[in-house]
Amino acid sequence: MKQFTFRKNWRWSGIPVVKQVGTALFCLYLMQSTPGFSYAQTLNVEAKQKSLSQIFESLKKDSGYHFFWEGGDFSGTRVDVSVKGDIKEVLDALFEGLPLDYTLHKKTVIIKSNPNNMRKAVKQDVVGRIIDEKGEAIAGAIIKYSSSGKYATVVTDAKGSFRITAAKFPVHLQISYLGYKPQDYVVEAANQPVLVQLRVAETQIEDVDIVYTGYQSISRENTTGASAGVKEEEIERRNNSSLDNILENSVPGLNSYTTPDGKADMRVRGGSSLRAGTAPLMVVDGFPATIMPDVNEITDIRVLKDAAAAAIWGSQASNGVIVITTKKGKIGGPVIQYAGNLRVQMRPDYSALQRANAAQVIDYEKEQYDKGYINSSRFRGTSAGYSQSIGIINAYDRNEIDLAERDRQLGLLAEMDNQSQVDDLLLRNAVNQKHFLSISGGSDRFSYYTGANFDYSVAGTRGTQDKNMVLTNRMTYKLADFVSLRSNIAMEYGWGNQGYSSLMEEIRKLQPYQMLKDENGNLVNNYFGYNKIENDRLLGLGYLDYGMNLVQETNLANNRTSGFGVRSIFGLDWKIIDGLTVSNDFVYERLGGRQRNLNDEQSLFTRNLINRFTTYDATTKKYEKMIPIGDVLDVTNSSSRRIASRNQANYQKTLLDKHYINVLVGFDISKYITDDTQQRLLGYNDELNSSQDIDAKVLAKGIRDWENKLQSYYASSYNQMRFKENREYSFYSTLAYTYDRRYTISGSFRNDYSNLFGADPKLRKTPLWSVGGKWLAHNEAFFNTDFISELSFRTTVGVTGNFDRDGQTTTYLTATRFFNTIADSFVARLQTPPNDKLRWESTRTVNAGVDVGVLHNRFTLSLDYYDKYSYDLLGSQTLDPTVGLTNASINAAELSNKGLELGLTAGIIRNKEFSWDTRVNFAYNKSNVLYNRITDTNPVINRPRNVVPYLEGYERESLWSYRWAGLDEQGRPQTYDENGDKVLEPVLASLELNGTSRPLYSGSWNNEFMYKGFNLSIFTVFNAGQKARMEMPSMDGYATNSAYNNKIANRWKQAGDEQKTDIPALVSQDDFDEYGQSIMRLATLSSNSVFDASFLRIREIQLGYTVSDRKILRQLPFKSIRAVAQINNVYLWKANKSGIDPEAVSGATYQLPQPKVVTFGLNFTL
């Protein structure tokens, strides 16, 4: 205990007499110079273990009071105090329990020693613990206590314990924690043990949602819009999955279709645009974002689907909005969390490509030769390449070998299979490591959250790897009771080597007998892309080898990428009066990327470029290389900046316990700038960082190659700079009113402005709005059943917008400036014509829904019907080339999307040890192009090829084909004409609609089982009602394809085969010369190639274990430990019988399906 000593003589300890007299005179002056003084000034003191001198110095700055000591100096004494009031109330609280007293006159405080106050210094500790219903400690519980009418606050530690000091008893405790019922507790004496058990709040049991729109948070009870979300518990459980995986069909109406490259094509309620994009707007912490947070940092995902929910986002909301909210610091001591996982992706299954084997390819190419399509003269004196088997056939055609030798060599070739070499030399299991670490905490005045994520990926193709690091920091500081400061900063840096970018495509095209290495381990060149005989001749003339080997190309690839991004949000929140808040936000976002592709001198790209511009000089009688020998360096630098400001006021209050009002008004201002540069250096030496010049003017005019073909090289097209600036501002307001928790009405209005639409105010702005209503029937007096816990009906209507923000759609005449080497000056190339009639795209949405909850929402159902009408949709119209432009943007079309959505959750079994919860999402969407000004001038050819999509009167992604009429007696494909007769050439009546390539029905089914510390979850997705086109051989006799489909083995070969196959014959040259184009169209684009692409896939199975034994945790430094094993792409059921993975079809070409992925994860909290 601190010892105090006192001196009875009246003096200022340690101060000379002269200084004492001077100080006294100064005090007298202060007392006389402040007339009319009042002590009513409100002061606020929050101090923890601060000295009195520090507190006095702070009070002096805040209030102007001067403090002097009389008879003892206790300025170094440290105290804990929390008080708000006038100067007397502050001093009384400050000196409580200290042997001090004070005299107060106007702005002067003289502090005196007073031993009698020692009787007040008897303070005693109160210790206790806060637990939940299971007896587990609650860390971070807030305890507000009072012993003398003054309040202070403490927070429980990791063990749920707390300690307070009180001078008077009883002590009143007010205990609260998020998700639990607040509880009051009275401590009668210091020696009384305190153990308080909090119970889960009823609102937690009833699962009351808070809807985050990005602009505000509002209870779902007081909203009318259609929205749905992914809960924090599911996000945390699936933290080993990517954000795309978590979002996939996670809510009704959000359809995520995985493309063959593994990316997610997400749409909310179908596509609302034809050209301006169909992806929903991604919002993170209130603002559109390009830097996505790590899954471990996300606390809420909300999908805004109709106009009432999304109209606040104006011209960015036609395709829906996905709002992501990240974690913030909570009151309590530091909490450290770690999440790490290891993902292993299996090698892809190349058999899914259904490629023909070596024997099948050779058999087909022999028939091509027999029917005269290929022979040695066809390739003589040209650069056209051919396969190894055609090379052997050509040797036979040139009489270099006899028939027996030809067949012997072809027989050996037919036994070859390069798949094992491809697997060993080019492919590998993809591996990803991810490590996430965060620390968070705070007090009632300050909170913080800092996270770091490191991601290291090794791709399934050799030579490709990526590293990525993201740092985040979010803080909130309460500057005063009425104002808080927020900061939200995210920084991302990534780097890697993209390897040989064309490797997967080249593997697909590799002939099955084309080996990568010979039996001695030497690399074998592939000359399919270039004539081997001509190549050997040109080598003697100084040309470089045209041969290509994928192993060499992979090893030489040096395609480095790097990128940096920073996103910072700073905001102030002001509490003006009860219920009224004002917020000011400033956003600065900067992204930068660099791609450095060093094409090695030995790479096929560089060799081919040099050879193309090698020309014969008649004077010197030599071949001259116009492109210097050396590497080719391509460098692209891109950067973007976004500056935005938002200012808004929100009034939210319940009046007279019946009238809930929420009013929001504000405005946004933003500027988005992109700046890209591109540069190419030829004859580059990486060690010396040097390059060589070229004669750009000569190369641009063109030179003749060895085939006498004109080859032109425009250096300016590889050395470019692009700049774009978009400026937008918006005014918006929303209103929600709820009467007696029974009836809610809402409305919103927003005006968006953009510089891309010129100076005319009528064109620059677009008004967007919504209105809605909701009836909470379960809160009616007559609704007195306990069985149904929620029954509400809602309806909305409103208009959202969209426009093409890439700068290609504008009312202005725009042009690209570049240097023309032929003209030797800068020139402009027209990009867009002026069009003062361009308007913003708009979408009107009508929505009606019902929400039902049973048994305290243990079972819930949400049903929505919507009708979206999109109009003034942008399209590209072909122009007369004589006007100087090939096409122009116009408001061309109208589109309808109608659908039904169903969401069902059920807690089937719930007891202390075992639970089974299930969730089913279902959505139906039907689109229809109501009007389209852009017509198709040649539908017979274009419609099945989808050249001119979006046909008026049909679905947005319609799939058209020729009506299949089988093969004729010569193996030629047929279709039907307008009379129903079989014909060899298609006409307009031959076309038929086969359906849509986009799913009509989509959804998911998630089951989660929990037993003690174990959990098992099975996540299944399904898409149905869509059609796709299978890959069919074109039967082009003149083509020397490198990637034949195995269906060529089933082609028509003899009379009668038309009864058992639909693969056409390799017809005679005469027939092909007459019907060739029709044969290829009918062979590949007829209705017999269309299949049902519906599927059901078990996307994810996860088994996890959480250590819940308190005895074990007490012996470890962890609050929680969780281990997870997970497998993705487990099982696929498909409606088609051809073994085709519908997600691995692009157009009419098979791609590699997504392989299985195994993940092991570990999470713990300190």
- pTM equals 0.80
Domain spans, the chain:
17-121, 124-203, 358-416+502-541
Higher pLDDT among residues 1081 and 762, named by residue: 1081
Note the pLDDT of residue 758. Answer: 57
Arithmetic mean of pLDDT, 204-233: 79
Mean of the per-residue pLDDT values of the chain: 86
Q: What is the pLDDT of residues 425-481, one digit of tens each?
A: 999 999 999 999 999 998 888 999 999 999 999 998 999 999 999 999 999 999 998
Query: Cα angle at 277 between 273 and 282, to 5 degrees?
Result: 115
Pick the CATH number of 17-121 from 3.30.70.20, 3.30.930.10, 3.20.20.450, 3.55.50.30: 3.55.50.30
Question: Worst-scoring range by mean pLDDT, 116-125, 230-239, 430-439, 947-956?
Answer: 116-125
Six-digit token string for 514: 């084309």
Question: Worst-scoring range by mean pLDDT, 398-407, 814-823, 903-912?
Answer: 814-823
How far apart, in whole angstroms, are the C-alpha atoms of residue 194 and residue 196? 6
Arithmetic mean of pLDDT, 1018-1034: 95
Q: What is the pLDDT of residues 183-192, one digit of tens each?
A: 888 888 777 7
Q: What is the pLDDT of residues 629-682, one digit of tens each?
A: 999 999 999 999 999 999 999 999 989 888 999 999 999 999 999 999 999 999
Domain 124-203 -> CATH class: mainly beta
Question: Worst-scoring range by mean pLDDT, 14-23, 617-626, 695-704, 749-758?
Answer: 14-23
Query: Cα angle at 203 between 202 and 204, to 5 degrees?
Result: 90
Query: Cα angle at 547 between 543 and 548, to 5 degrees?
Result: 135
Q: What is the DSSP letter of 461?
A: B
Q: Is the pLDDT of residue 849 over 50?
A: yes
Closest CA to 1000 of 944, 922, 947, 931: 922
Q: What is the pLDDT of residues 57-113, one digit of tens each?
A: 888 877 788 887 776 666 667 777 777 778 887 887 777 767 777 888 778 888 887
Arithmetic mean of pLDDT, 486-493: 96
Closest CA to 627 of 677, 678, 684: 684
Report the DSSP pairing between strands 194-197 and 124-131. parallel
Q: Is the pLDDT of residue 176 over 60?
A: yes
Note the pLDDT of residue 4. Answer: 32
Backbone phi and psi for residue 62, each to the nearest 5 degrees, phi listed first: -80, -30
Note the pLDDT of residue 3. Answer: 35
Q: What is the pLDDT of residues 315-366, one digit of tens each?
A: 888 888 999 999 999 887 899 999 999 999 998 888 888 999 999 999 999 9
Q: What is the pLDDT of residues 292-323, one digit of tens each?
A: 899 999 999 999 998 888 888 888 888 889 99
- Percent of the chain residues past pLDDT 70, beyond the cut: 89
Q: Is the pLDDT of residue 211 over 60?
A: yes
Q: Is the pLDDT of residue 119 over 50?
A: no
- 812 within 8 A of 838, measured Cβ to Cβ: no
Report the DSSP pairing between strands 194-197 and 217-219. unpaired
Question: Worst-scoring range by mean pLDDT, 78-92, 269-283, 618-632, 1134-1148?
Answer: 78-92
Question: Worst-scoring range by mean pLDDT, 279-288, 603-612, 754-763, 796-805?
Answer: 754-763
H helices present in 457-600, as ranges? 503-509, 532-539, 550-556
Six-digit token string for 814: 């725009």
Backbone phi and psi for residue 533, each to the nearest 5 degrees, phi listed first: -65, -45
Q: What is the pLDDT of residues 1057-1067, one digit of tens each?
A: 999 999 999 99
Per 3-state DSSP, the chain is made up of helix, strand and coil in percentages (nearest 5) of: 20, 45, 35
- 876 within 8 A of 885, measured Cβ to Cβ: no
Sequence-distant (6+) residues with CB within 8 A of 752 are 314, 315, 728, 729, 730, 765, 766, 768, 801, 840
Q: Is the pLDDT of residue 159 over 70?
A: yes
Note the pLDDT of residue 501. Answer: 87
Note the pLDDT of residue 811. Answer: 67
- 584 within 8 A of 572, measured Cβ to Cβ: yes
Closest CA to 550 of 620, 495, 611, 502: 502
